Amino acid sequence: MTEAERRWESWYQAFSKVYEAFPQPIDVPCPEGDGGHIQLTFYGYPDSRTGSITAWCDRCRHGIWLGRVGIPAGTERYPFDSRPEGRPEITLIPEA
Protein backbone atom coordinates (compact mmCIF):
# COMPACT_ATOMS: atom_id res chain seq x y z
CA MET A 1 0.00 0.00 0.00
CA THR A 2 1.40 3.40 -0.94
CA GLU A 3 1.58 6.34 1.44
CA ALA A 4 -1.26 8.05 -0.46
CA GLU A 5 -3.40 4.91 -0.12
CA ARG A 6 -2.64 4.67 3.61
CA ARG A 7 -3.57 8.33 4.10
CA TRP A 8 -6.86 7.98 2.25
CA GLU A 9 -7.69 4.77 4.08
CA SER A 10 -7.06 6.41 7.47
CA TRP A 11 -9.47 9.19 6.49
CA TYR A 12 -12.04 6.66 5.34
CA GLN A 13 -11.78 4.79 8.65
CA ALA A 14 -12.28 8.04 10.58
CA PHE A 15 -15.30 8.90 8.40
CA SER A 16 -16.77 5.43 8.96
CA LYS A 17 -16.64 5.79 12.74
CA VAL A 18 -18.48 9.11 12.67
CA TYR A 19 -20.98 7.96 10.04
CA GLU A 20 -21.81 4.71 11.86
CA ALA A 21 -22.49 6.58 15.11
CA PHE A 22 -24.58 9.28 13.41
CA PRO A 23 -26.72 11.02 14.63
CA GLN A 24 -25.07 10.43 17.99
CA PRO A 25 -22.01 12.66 18.37
CA ILE A 26 -18.70 10.83 18.56
CA ASP A 27 -15.26 12.30 19.04
CA VAL A 28 -13.00 10.97 16.28
CA PRO A 29 -9.55 12.55 16.02
CA CYS A 30 -8.20 13.80 12.72
CA PRO A 31 -6.03 11.22 10.94
CA GLU A 32 -3.47 13.98 10.34
CA GLY A 33 -2.76 14.00 14.09
CA ASP A 34 -3.26 17.75 14.41
CA GLY A 35 -5.62 17.66 17.40
CA GLY A 36 -8.70 18.36 15.28
CA HIS A 37 -11.85 16.29 14.98
CA ILE A 38 -13.86 14.86 12.11
CA GLN A 39 -17.01 16.68 10.98
CA LEU A 40 -19.55 15.56 8.36
CA THR A 41 -21.38 17.70 5.82
CA PHE A 42 -24.15 16.09 3.76
CA TYR A 43 -25.21 17.19 0.27
CA GLY A 44 -28.29 16.10 -1.62
CA TYR A 45 -31.75 16.86 -2.90
CA PRO A 46 -34.35 17.63 -0.22
CA ASP A 47 -36.56 14.63 -1.06
CA SER A 48 -33.78 12.09 -1.60
CA ARG A 49 -32.17 9.75 0.90
CA THR A 50 -29.03 9.46 -1.25
CA GLY A 51 -26.41 12.13 -1.72
CA SER A 52 -22.77 12.85 -1.06
CA ILE A 53 -20.75 13.69 2.00
CA THR A 54 -17.58 15.51 2.98
CA ALA A 55 -15.72 14.28 6.06
CA TRP A 56 -13.34 17.01 7.18
CA CYS A 57 -11.16 18.14 10.06
CA ASP A 58 -12.16 21.23 12.00
CA ARG A 59 -8.50 22.15 12.50
CA CYS A 60 -6.42 21.33 9.40
CA ARG A 61 -9.42 21.59 7.05
CA HIS A 62 -8.43 18.58 5.00
CA GLY A 63 -10.95 15.92 4.18
CA ILE A 64 -12.44 13.40 1.80
CA TRP A 65 -15.51 13.45 -0.38
CA LEU A 66 -17.69 10.41 -0.94
CA GLY A 67 -20.39 10.27 -3.55
CA ARG A 68 -23.50 8.14 -3.38
CA VAL A 69 -23.99 7.68 0.36
CA GLY A 70 -27.17 7.20 2.32
CA ILE A 71 -28.42 10.30 4.10
CA PRO A 72 -30.20 9.52 7.36
CA ALA A 73 -33.76 10.85 7.66
CA GLY A 74 -33.95 14.30 9.22
CA THR A 75 -30.32 15.11 8.46
CA GLU A 76 -29.50 18.65 7.42
CA ARG A 77 -28.25 18.61 3.86
CA TYR A 78 -27.03 21.26 1.49
CA PRO A 79 -27.47 21.62 -2.27
CA PHE A 80 -24.79 20.06 -4.42
CA ASP A 81 -22.02 22.50 -5.39
CA SER A 82 -22.64 24.73 -2.38
CA ARG A 83 -20.64 25.54 0.71
CA PRO A 84 -22.65 25.92 3.90
CA GLU A 85 -22.39 29.34 5.46
CA GLY A 86 -19.69 29.37 8.11
CA ARG A 87 -18.01 26.19 6.91
CA PRO A 88 -14.40 26.79 5.88
CA GLU A 89 -12.95 25.88 2.50
CA ILE A 90 -11.85 22.23 2.63
CA THR A 91 -8.81 20.80 0.85
CA LEU A 92 -9.80 17.37 -0.42
CA ILE A 93 -7.33 14.52 -0.19
CA PRO A 94 -7.08 12.83 -3.59
CA GLU A 95 -8.17 9.23 -3.86
CA ALA A 96 -5.10 7.05 -4.14
State the Cα–Cα distance between residues 96 and 86, nearest whole angstrom: 29
Write out pLDDT tens, residues 12-62. Answer: 999 999 999 999 999 999 999 999 999 999 999 888 889 999 999 999 999
pTM above 0.85, yes or no: yes
pLDDT band at 11 (very low <50, low <70, confident <90, very high): very high
Amino acid (one-letter) located at 59: R
